[in-house]
Structure 1
């Protein structure tokens, strides 16, 4: 797969105007800007529309059509941009444990990135929805690392790593993974599974998230939630497809796809 991205279009989409360098400051700033501008969303699988992962399709959807996407789309696009700047990037794959027991055996359905900068290794992930990292973590276990929102940390045992976030005082695991680089075809297979399997959350439910610099916005079906550090979550239930569309456009900054296909799916969302 070609990694030749229209870097100017990408930087314009995420609103990044600072100088570019192959360093941690640039990596973190790009991740923060990406997470704030390009929302996590699953409108394609919800509507039965394919999710292509080729770079040209990602550019068209996420850069030019005003859409977002989920982990494979987000992190493949981010990886292409980082490589165009000059970073060395390896794609990894993870088993999601968010809202699961620590010992749960889940499929490998999440993509994250290992990035080399100035002789050090960092992990970054702009595609984990409600708990988007929106930054970068030094590849060092057992150390709490600050972000603009929650602290994150990495745990490691016998070559298996766990990504955790401190949520209201508790360390919660997002996913577990190893450091073996993955090929593009591994993401194609996992993407097909999560976007077409009838029991997949991405097929059954509306899942949208955006990580701004000071808050996290999430929408699951009709429940819209705003979370700010140190405060109680603000929740409200949306009524009707019209209100859902307004929130998608105004809060998540989405340009909506074909409404003739979308609106029936929104009307069918569970209350």
Structure 2
């Protein structure tokens, strides 16, 4: 009874965080609602990796950071959190892994460093609330070759060898995001990939500030001091932030982050503008 009470408290806090007050049924309507609200409320960000801190994937840590702490995270954090919420609601969820090919040459085989969720409905759906500046704002039906509308860009899933390829329609061209297959992943698989992404010296998350949030009618994206506001039915605005103070202000306002109040963090933000 006590564990069930804790589960309900976690759900209440999560729903309050994303602004959801609808039914708690394990059905497609609930999945669509949560998938739309989660990336709008909880941003993608890599602050811990940038600051040289470890990234924990246990539920208590994720709940404390993303739900109660006003922070965001990257794919392993977002999709672990959503996966546990869906399971608590009664969904059957399988963790998968993807190879990110966004902005990479076709002949460059990337590692499995992206987490994806398979939601076992009839038919099954792919859920992914942790893909940075192009985070999905709707689940995708696991059916190859059909164009699927989201709250933002149209997307599709294609067959690719023994697996699948996710693409997004940008400026009337289909762009590849990542490949995945249906091999279930174990916690140790995610621990290995999470360590590489958060701690390996070659990981871009150790070197660059990356933040993103999907809002109604637009997307916000920040890479170091370069801020992009992409409006779905308007022009894309690009700004160069001139100081660490400006970066902090935008992280708090546009990305809705609760930031650490410590001098070392502000020093890191100021360093990101050194080439401006």
| Corresponding residue of 1:106 | 110
| Corresponding residue of 1:66 | 70
- Indicate the SS of the match to 1:111: strand
- Separation of aligned partners in 2, 1:213 and 1:20: 23
Deviations 1:127-167 (A, max 9, x none): 00100011111100011101111100001133221110001
Contact in 2 for aligned 1:102/1:173 (Cα 8 Å): no
Gaps of 5+ in 1: none
Counting matched residue pairs gives 269
Residue 264 (structure 1) shift: 1.2
Residue 63 (structure 1) shift: 0.8
Residue of 135, 150, 162 corresponding to 1:147: 150
Residue 172 (structure 1) shift: 0.5
- Separation of aligned partners in 1, 2:244 and 2:161: 48
- Separation of aligned partners in 2, 1:111 and 1:149: 21
Residue of 153, 156, 161 corresponding to 1:158: 161
- Indicate the SS of the match to 1:173: strand
- Separation of aligned partners in 2, 1:203 and 1:129: 15
| Corresponding residue of 2:61 | 57
Matched, 1:231 2:231: no
Residue of 166, 171, 181 corresponding to 1:168: 171
Q: What aligned pairs does 1:183-222 form with structure 2 within 5 A after superposition?
A: 183-222=186-225
Contact in 1 for aligned 2:217/2:233 (Cα 8 Å): no
- Separation of aligned partners in 2, 1:204 and 1:231: 32
Stretches (4+) displaced over 3 A: 2-5
Contact in 2 for aligned 1:216/1:226 (Cα 8 Å): yes
- Separation of aligned partners in 1, 2:14 and 2:63: 8
Residue 259 (structure 1) shift: 2.5
- Separation of aligned partners in 1, 2:146 and 2:162: 17
- Separation of aligned partners in 2, 1:79 and 1:246: 31
| Corresponding residue of 1:39 | 43
Residue 21 (structure 1) shift: 1.7
- Separation of aligned partners in 2, 1:199 and 1:258: 28
Matched, 1:93 2:107: no
Residue 231 (structure 1) shift: 2.6
- Separation of aligned partners in 1, 2:216 and 2:156: 19
Residue 254 (structure 1) shift: 0.1
Gaps of 5+ in 2: none
- Indicate the SS of the match to 1:80: helix
Contact in 2 for aligned 1:93/1:110 (Cα 8 Å): yes
- What do you get for the CA RMSD once the two structures are aligned? 1.5
- Separation of aligned partners in 1, 2:28 and 2:107: 33
Residue 261 (structure 1) shift: 2.4
Q: Which moved more, 1:153-162 or 1:92-101?
A: 153-162
